[in-house]
Amino acid sequence: MKILHTSDWHIGKTLYGRKRYNEFEAFLTWLIETIEQEQVDALLIAGDIFDTSTPGNRAQQLYYRFLHRVAASSCRHVVIIAGNHDSPSFLSAPRELLKALDVHVTGSLSGDPADEVLILHNTAGVAELIVCAIPHLRDRDIRLAEAGESMQDKSRKLIEGIRDHYATVINQARLQRAALSPAIPIITMGHLFVAGGQTIEGDGVRELYVGSLAHVPASIFPADMDYLALGHLHVPQCVNDSPVMRYSGSPLPMGFGEAGQEKSICLVEFNHSGSTTPADVRLIRIPVFQPLERIKGNWKEISDRIFRLIAEHSCAWLEIIYEGDELITNLPERLQSTIEDSSLEILRIKNNRIIRQILDQTGEGDTLEELSVHEVFEHCLSAHAIPAEQQAELRLAYQEILTSLNEDDGRAG
């Protein structure tokens, strides 16, 4: 049996104002072709299908057209879980209709962990795969807030809640397998941040819970699981050096920090001996549908690289970071002149020489653009001379508000 594992599509995401629907459409077309070429039996999508909880019409059109095409392919099953960017209610709304296409959606917890255990059957009606489809676990789903609890208490409760939920669902799956056949593989799907996971600057990965409290240890996952299909981190990677515990990564670079990173999906194959033999995992490289490039340096280094790209007939989108000592006040005009009549497009220009000059004059150490929301809050604490004994409490309140905003489901009614 062949299974494809992918995640973090973020359909609808823009890059410095540029819409990327052509890239998303090209990826989904390629994915259908790959499913047919590899004769895939099941497709697992581990969260963050959309970039926002209120996807636009074009994003929805791409999603539903893709599912319709999958239903007509060799793929017998599709399993989708919600990520932290998705609206659980939006994803779940057509779930009964999608079941007719063998598309199984888990948007949120139902109150019964058994609902997250899916038994998938082959064309003869025989069970062939068990999937623990665990969506992104929101803070309010797994922890009861108590007055006066410390950050350490919150962290402990979050980790315990996540661990307990995964253990309960996986145990349910084991019971189901024992009643059917020990040869049936069990795959666990999840959307969360495992401690030690690799991220890249500008990749759009945001904290799931309060601060970084719920970077869960890899030890919450049983060592004997047949395969763990995770979403949330955009860099393809193994968890705890295990070849069968993986983040598939995002199919498209979410920002210029990911420019040049090789993207892939995971092809997982089980032989007929079932789960007694570890899954064979192979990465399938995703083509680059829209090249991105970050160019840094002085004017000569930047212009030389641009001229090389022009000579190669590149159609890349560029981020230019000027770091030279020469003060260039007309940098945007000079750059536009350089790429004139080419297929290159500059989406962002950052003139560090001008920034340094302004900061030297104002005495400030950062610009708002360069700061994360957490750093802005820390600057506010310092600027208003908040006493140290009050800062911890204010940080906690701020982080809880930010988490609540990130987790709000705009589709829930």
- The CATH number linked to 190 is 3.60.21.10
Same domain, 164 and 311: no
Same domain, 272 and 350: no
Question: Among residues of the chain, what percentage have pLDDT more than 70?
Answer: 82
What integer pLDDT is reported at residue 211 of this predicted model? 45
Query: Which residue would you say has higher pLDDT here, 324 or 62?
Result: 62
What integer pLDDT is reported at residue 157 of this predicted model? 80
Give the pLDDT mean for 344-356. 81
Is residue 311 one of the residues assigned to a domain?
yes
Query: Which residue would you say has higher pLDDT here, 372 or 10?
Result: 10
- Binned at pLDDT 50, 70 and 90, residue 177 comes out as very high
- The span from the CA of 390 to the CA of 376, in Å, is 17
Give the pLDDT mean for 48-58. 94
What integer pLDDT is reported at residue 110 of this predicted model? 86
Look up residue 232 and give its two tokens.
């949330």
Same domain, 161 and 246: yes
Is residue 88 one of the residues assigned to a domain?
yes
Is residue 376 one of the residues assigned to a domain?
no
User: Which residue type, as a one-letter code, is found at position 334?
Assistant: R
Is residue 52 one of the residues assigned to a domain?
yes
Same domain, 18 and 83: yes
Look up residue 29 and give its two tokens.
């077309």
What integer pLDDT is reported at residue 203 of this predicted model? 55
Give the pLDDT mean for 24-34. 97
Per DSSP (E only), the strands in 173-285 are 186-191, 227-231, 237-239, 242-247, 264-269, 280-285
Check pLDDT > 70 for residue 370: no
Same domain, 199 and 120: yes
What integer pLDDT is reported at residue 210 of this predicted model? 43
Q: Is 197 helix (H, G, I), strand (E, B) or coil?
A: coil
Same domain, 47 and 137: yes
Which of 19-33, 193-207, 294-308, 366-380 is predicted with the least confidence, judged by mean pLDDT?
366-380
Check pLDDT > 50 for residue 231: yes
Give the pLDDT mean for 366-370. 51
Is residue 386 one of the residues assigned to a domain?
no
Check pLDDT > 70 for residue 306: yes
- Binned at pLDDT 50, 70 and 90, residue 11 comes out as very high
How high does pLDDT run on average in the chain? 85
Query: Which residue would you say has higher pLDDT here, 149 or 156?
Result: 156
| CA 358 from centre of chain | 36
Domain count, the chain: 2
Q: Tell me the per-residue pLDDT of 98-128, one tens digit each, with 9 for 90 and over.
A: 998 899 999 999 888 899 999 999 989 999 9
Instruction: Give the torsion sign (CA, 171, 173, 176, 178).
Output: negative
Check pLDDT > 70 for residue 206: no
Domain termination site, one of 285, 319, 350: 285
Instruction: Please count the other Cβ atoms lying within 10 Å of the Cβ belonging to residue 89.
Output: 16
What integer pLDDT is reported at residue 274 of this predicted model? 45
Is residue 214 one of the residues assigned to a domain?
yes
Domain termination site, one of 327, 349, 364: 364
Query: Which residue would you say has higher pLDDT here, 366 or 245?
Result: 245
Same domain, 237 and 334: no
At residue 50, what are phi and psi to the nearest 5 degrees? -110, 160
Same domain, 334 and 197: no
Check pLDDT > 80 for residue 18: yes
Of the candidates 351, 370, 347, the residue with the CA atom closest to the CA atom of residue 17: 347
Same domain, 326 and 228: no
Same domain, 129 and 236: yes
Same domain, 276 and 335: no
> What's the whole-model pTM score?
0.83
Check pLDDT > 70 for residue 373: no
Is residue 22 one of the residues assigned to a domain?
yes
**Structural domain harbouring 322:** 306-364
Of the candidates 243, 229, 241, the residue with the CA atom closest to the CA atom of residue 282: 243
Domain termination site, one of 320, 347, 364: 364
- Binned at pLDDT 50, 70 and 90, residue 154 comes out as confident
Query: Which residue would you say has higher pLDDT here, 172 or 204?
Result: 172
Check pLDDT > 50 for residue 209: no
Same domain, 165 and 271: yes
Q: How many helices (H) and strands (E) does the chain have?
A: 11, 17
Question: Among residues of the chain, what percentage have pLDDT more than 90?
Answer: 59
Query: Which residue would you say has higher pLDDT here, 346 or 393?
Result: 346
Which of 36-45, 175-184, 376-385 is predicted with the least confidence, judged by mean pLDDT?
376-385
Is residue 132 one of the residues assigned to a domain?
yes
Query: Which residue would you say has higher pLDDT here, 188 or 355?
Result: 188
